[in-house]
């Protein structure tokens, strides 16, 4: 079977690989869809820290079970369609023992630290599979991305109608907006692209939007929030300036979640942190329960995935078309399909 391998920054290759067999606690899956994510683009550009080449990418997956080992506590069956939780945490680690599996000390992510799903078949631990009886393979492959945003919303835990500002309308921020909305929050999108903001309002039904390049953001937020400032902020920009500015945009008692990652130091003004009694949190990956929750939300139609996929390619086209994804305007999610004749 042919796999697509990122051989080095900027170059994919193809390798012949043995058809895999699965162990007792594993399942063999047929991969139908692979979503392309920022991590993949960083790896391609050679900007992903601690990344080793060659590597089979792919951690946003829509798969079908072909074979299943004898240890199968979830009672999964051959033919089940599943989303993959790509976080291979160590169940014995202190974080996992404390229930924070998403921040496990020994975390390995499929398609990042170990080979992922950009290949027709692979094996993985059975407990990483989350099944749905109604989602399409496209939707199953979007679940992981949505989980990242959904987990940030779990961290912030907005109340019904609470003014919730999500900064950054890239794929991760969009997921956070959709789940904050699904939780009943009053969601405000902030981004420097008016096209993205229009997309948030029209396609995702987000309540309001602010472009920080078009005037005073604090004033704009007060106008939206009845004179107050938001009491939940999720920053999905990974931009130092934006992250530092969240303290100025926060209402008293605000919970701020840094969902984006900035590689470096972020500074804050302690008196404003103290005076407003802010809570600052990070959000990383997602929990197994987040996958179940996201699948249920998409199944019920509470979260609409229709606007998400903006570009498609086949596995054999990855080498030629991948680079173009990074340059395409209005890009949200590129989806790779793998054809299986038999
Ligand atoms: Zn991803």
Write down all domains in the chain, each with its CATH number in brackets.
2-131+308-337 (3.90.180.10), 149-282 (3.40.50.720)
Assess contact for 191 and 236: CB atoms under 8 A. Answer: no
Strand 163-167 relative to strand 232-235, pairing: parallel
Q: Name the strand (E) or helix (H) holding 190.
A: strand 186-190
Give me the pLDDT at residue 91, please.
95
Q: How far apart, in Å, are the Cα atoms of 124 and each of 42, 116, 177, 289, 317? A: 24, 9, 31, 18, 25
Assess contact for 179 and 148: CB atoms under 8 A. Answer: no
- Please tell me the distance between residue 226's alpha carbon and the centre of ligand 1 in angstroms: 36
Dihedral of alpha carbons 296, 297, 302, 305, sign: negative
- Please tell me the distance between residue 36's alpha carbon and the centre of ligand 1 in angstroms: 7
- Please tell me the distance between residue 302's alpha carbon and the centre of ligand 1 in angstroms: 21
**First vs last Cα of the chain: how many Å apart?**
13
- Please tell me the distance between residue 234's alpha carbon and the centre of ligand 1 in angstroms: 18
- Please tell me the distance between residue 259's alpha carbon and the centre of ligand 1 in angstroms: 13
Give me the pLDDT at residue 66, please.
97
- Please tell me the distance between residue 276's alpha carbon and the centre of ligand 1 in angstroms: 34
State pTM to two decimals.
0.95
Show the DSSP H helices in 86-193 as ranges: 94-97, 137-156, 171-182
Q: How far apart, in Å, are the Cα atoms of 222 and each of 76, 218, 329? A: 50, 6, 31
- State the maximum Cα–Cα separation within the chain, in Å, rounded to a whole number: 64
d(CA 112, CA 23): 22
Residues of the chain with pLDDT under 50: none
- Please tell me the distance between residue 39's alpha carbon and the centre of ligand 1 in angstroms: 6
- Please tell me the distance between residue 216's alpha carbon and the centre of ligand 1 in angstroms: 33
Assess contact for 234 and 187: CB atoms under 8 A. Answer: no
d(CA 111, CA 58): 5
- Please tell me the distance between residue 236's alpha carbon and the centre of ligand 1 in angstroms: 13
**Cβ atoms < 10 Å from Cβ of 184:** 13
Give me the pLDDT at residue 326, please.
67
């Amino acid at each position: 079977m042919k796999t697509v391998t990122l051989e080095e920054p900027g170059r994919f290759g193809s390798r012949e690989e043995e058809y895999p067999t699965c162990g007792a606690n594993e399942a063999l899956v047929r991969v139908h869809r692979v979503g392309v994510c920022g991590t993949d683009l960083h790896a391609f550009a050679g900007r992903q820290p601690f990344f080793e080449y060659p590597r089979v990418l792919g951690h946003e997956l829509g798969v079908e079970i072909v074979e299943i080992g004898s240890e199968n506590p979830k009672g999964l069956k051959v033919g089940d369609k599943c989303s993959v939780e790509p976080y291979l945490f160590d169940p014995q680690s202190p974080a996992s023992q404390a229930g924070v599996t998403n921040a496990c000390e020994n975390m390995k992510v499929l398609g990042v630290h170990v080979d992922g799903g950009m290949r027709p078949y692979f094996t993985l631990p059975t407990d990483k599979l989350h099944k749905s009886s109604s989602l399409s393979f496209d939707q199953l492959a979007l679940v992981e991305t949505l989980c990242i945003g959904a987990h940030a919303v779990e961290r912030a835990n907005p109340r019904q109608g609470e003014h919730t500002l999500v900064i950054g309308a890239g794929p991760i921020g969009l997921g956070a907006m959709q789940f904050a909305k699904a939780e009943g929050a009053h969601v405000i999108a902030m981004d420097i692209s008016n096209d993205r903001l229009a997309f948030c309002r029209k396609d995702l039904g987000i309540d309001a939007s602010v472009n920080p390049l078009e005037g005073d953001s604090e004033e704009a937020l007060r106008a939206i929030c009845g004179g107050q400032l938001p009491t939940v902020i999720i920053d999905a920009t990974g931009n130092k300036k934006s992250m530092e500015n969240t303290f100025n945009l926060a209402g008293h008692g605000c919970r701020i979640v840094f969902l984006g990652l900035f590689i470096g130091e972020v500074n804050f003004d302690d008196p404003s942190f103290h005076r407003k009694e802010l809570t600052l949190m990070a959000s990383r990956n997602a929990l197994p329960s987040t996958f179940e929750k996201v699948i249920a939300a998409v199944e019920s139609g509470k979260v609409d995935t229709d606007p998400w996929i903006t570009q498609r390619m086949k596995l054999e086209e990855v080498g030629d078309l991948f680079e173009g994804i990074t340059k395409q305007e209005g890009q949200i999610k590129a989806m790779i399909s793998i054809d299986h004749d038999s």
